Structure 1
Amino acid sequence: MGKIVITTNLSLDGVVQDPDGKEGFRLGGWFEQFGGKDLEPWARHETDETLAADALLLGRRSEEWFASRWAARIGEWADKLNSMPKYVVSSTFDHPRWGNATVLKGDVVTEVAKLKQDVAGEILVYASYQLGQTLIEHDLADELRLVVFPVVLGAGERLFGGTTDKKGLRLLGSRTLGDGLALLTYEIVR
């Protein structure tokens, strides 16, 4: 059985929107601005995490974003990302842009529950906050890996949306990446 791990970068107040500043959000661009020299240890962490994973699970917009930035790259991290199986949740398109990708159509909860049965190992969810909210709400996510950037944005889309009930978490680990980024790892308690 697969383990779904939501792994994302966010501000201290939980904003995940427009980290690179290319989406037009007035507060976008916080990733490089507040990551600075800590992005080197961040990249090592992300590479190690990817190398240990078995698949990616993405929303449509995230698949398009990653495909446009990673498909032509080479190197250890890029090679793994580009070759690993990818599953894209979408009801609006049939042709993913990134290689080795399968579109999951139909009910998200049903499709992802089936995916967890079919894929052994870690299934990473990158940058897909709406999908992440759905997975958390329906108890399909198993772990959260949050890289907290030292900035409060005060507005923007957040990973944690409304839920129908409390969602308990257990801290599995915390450490810094460089001098200013905090990596928090939580298990979702059922």
Structure 2
Amino acid sequence: MGKLVISENITLDGVIQDPTGEDGFERGGWFGRITDSDRTAWAKVELDEALGAEALLMGRGSYEYFVARGWTSRSGDWADRLRSLPKYVVSSSTFEDPEWTNTSVLRGDVVAAVSKLKEEVAGDIVVYASGGLVPTLIEHDLVDELRLMVYPIILGAGEHPFAGTSKSKPLRLASSRPVGDSLLLLTYAVE
């Protein structure tokens, strides 16, 4: 059975919105405030995570974000690994023809589709970002692990990935480690 892993870049106050500043959020662009050394260390963590994954799961918005930024044809170890992984995109719309290799569209009941995917995949199924999908996965107890790359900034406003859950979700700290000079990777197991 697969293990569903949420992998988020997140500010110290829990915001995931507009890390690159491309979406027009007035407090966006916080990813760009780290040093080159931090960015290099972050990229190593991301590559290692991709190498340990058996599949990627994304909402349509996150999928389109990756495609619009050229991940379908980028070169390099991380891009090559993402291209080779099976990718599953949750979409309730008329999204038909994914252009990124090894991509399948999951339709219908999200909970049923992701539950079935977890039964079919042995190993980590990593969910990058996907702010619209993550709350649904958490709400329906489909998440096994949270990997939060915490950025040393407080925004004071913005979208939170866990907003709207109807009940508390106990977690257990599995590991914590510094990444670069100012980032912190927190890994929580969902109880």
TM-score, length-scaled by structure 1? 0.96
RMSD: 1.0
Count residues in correspondence: 189
Deviation string, structure 1 residues 102-157 (Cα, Å, up to 9, x no partner): 00000110100000001111000001022111111100000000000000111111
Unaligned runs of 5+ in 1: none
Map 1:57-136 → 2, pairs under 5 A: 57-69=57-69, 70-92=71-93, 93-136=95-138
Alignment partner, residue 56 of structure 1: 56
SS of the residue 2:4 aligns to: strand
- Give 1:35 deviation, angstroms: 5.0
- 1:149 paired residue among 148, 151, 156: 151
- List runs of 5+ in structure 2 lacking aligned partners: none
Contact 1:4 1:124 in 2 (8 A): yes
The range that moved more, 93-102 or 110-119, is 93-102
Displaced runs of 4 or more, over 6 A: none
What amino acid sits opposite 2:88 in the alignment?
A: Y
Secondary structure, counterpart of 1:129 in structure 2 = coil
Amino acid of the structure 1 residue aligned with 2:14:
G
Question: SS at 1:165's partner residue?
Answer: coil
1:11 matches 2:23: no
Give the Cα separation in 2 of the matches to 1:133 and 1:97: 26
Matched, 1:44 2:44: yes
1:124 and 1:154 map into 2 onto residues whose CA distance is 28
Counterpart CA distance in 2 for 1:113 and 1:130 is 17
* Cα distance, 1:97 vs structure 2: 3.1
Cα offsets for 1:10-49 (capped at 9, x unmatched) = 1011111111111111111100113543111110011001
1:74 maps to a residue whose letter is S
Aligned partner of 2:102: which letter?
A: N
TM-score relative to the length of structure 2 = 0.96
- Structure 1 counterpart of 2:169: 167
Q: Percent identity?
A: 58
| Structure 1 counterpart of 2:25 | 25
Counterpart of 1:60 in structure 2: which amino acid? R
